[in-house]
A = this chain, B = another copy of it.
Amino acid sequence: MIQTDAQSLEPTMSHSPQTAILVIGGAEDKVHGREILQTFFNRSGGRDAQIAIIPSASREPAAIGNRYRDIFEDMGAKAVRILDIRERYQGEDPIWQNDLEDCTGVFMTGGDQLRLCSLLADTPLMEKILLQVQRGEIVLAGTSAGAAVMGYHMIAGGGSGESPNRSLVDMTTGLGILPQVIVDQHFHNRNRMARLISAISANPDRIGVGIDEDTCALFEGDGLIQVLGKGTVTIIDPGEVDYTNEPYVDAINPLSIFNLRVHVLTYGDRYHIPTRSLHVPEQRLSA
Contact partners of A261 in chain B: CB under 8 A? 259-262
Contact partners of A215 in chain B: CB under 8 A? 163
State whether the Cβ of A39 lies closer than 8 Å to any Cβ in chain B: no
Expressed in whole angstroms, the minimum distance between the Cβ of A232 and any Cβ of chain B is: 4
Q: A259-B278, A284-B248 are in contact. Are A264 and B188 (CB under 8 A)?
A: no
State whether the Cβ of A191 lies closer than 8 Å to any Cβ in chain B: yes
State whether the Cβ of A199 lies closer than 8 Å to any Cβ in chain B: no
Q: Which A residues from 79 to 102 make CB contacts under 8 A with B?
A: none
Assembled-state Cα–Cα distance A161/B186 (Å): 9
Q: Which A residues from 171 to 194 make CB contacts under 8 A with B?
A: 188-191, 193-194
Q: A254-B266, A261-B259, A261-B260 are in contact. Are A189 and B162 (CB under 8 A)?
A: yes
Contact partners of A266 in chain B: CB under 8 A? 163, 245, 253-256
**Are B280 and A212 touching (Cβ within 8 A)?**
no
Interface string of A249-274 (1 = CB under 8 A from B): 00001111111111111100100000
Interface string of A215-230 (1 = CB under 8 A from B): 1000000000000001
State whether the Cβ of A1 lies closer than 8 Å to any Cβ in chain B: yes
Pick the contact of A231 from B242, B254, B280 — CB < 8 Å? B254
Interface size on A, residues (CB 8 A): 44
**Are A232 and B263 touching (Cβ within 8 A)?**
no
Pick the contact of A264 from B2, B164, B242, B248 — CB < 8 Å? B164
Contact partners of A54 in chain B: CB under 8 A? none
Q: A189-B162, A243-B278 are in contact. Are A258 and B254 (CB under 8 A)?
A: no
Assembled-state Cα–Cα distance A278/B269 (Å): 31
**Are B259 and A260 touching (Cβ within 8 A)?**
no
State whether the Cβ of A197 lies closer than 8 Å to any Cβ in chain B: yes
**Are A258 and B263 touching (Cβ within 8 A)?**
yes
**Are A264 and B259 touching (Cβ within 8 A)?**
no
**Are A231 and B163 touching (Cβ within 8 A)?**
yes
Q: Which A residues from 31 to 55 make CB contacts under 8 A with B?
A: none
**Are B260 and A255 touching (Cβ within 8 A)?**
no
Q: A232-B254, A263-B260, A266-B254 are in contact. Are A280 and B162 (CB under 8 A)?
A: no
**Are B212 and A188 touching (Cβ within 8 A)?**
no
A244's nearest neighbour on chain B, judged by CB, is B264
A271's nearest neighbour on chain B, judged by CB, is B258
Pick the contact of A197 from B248, B257, B264 — CB < 8 Å? B264
**Are A280 and B256 touching (Cβ within 8 A)?**
yes
Residues of A within 8 A of B (CB): 1-2, 160-164, 188-191, 193-194, 197, 212, 215, 230-232, 236, 242-243, 245, 248, 253-266, 269, 278, 280, 284-285, 287
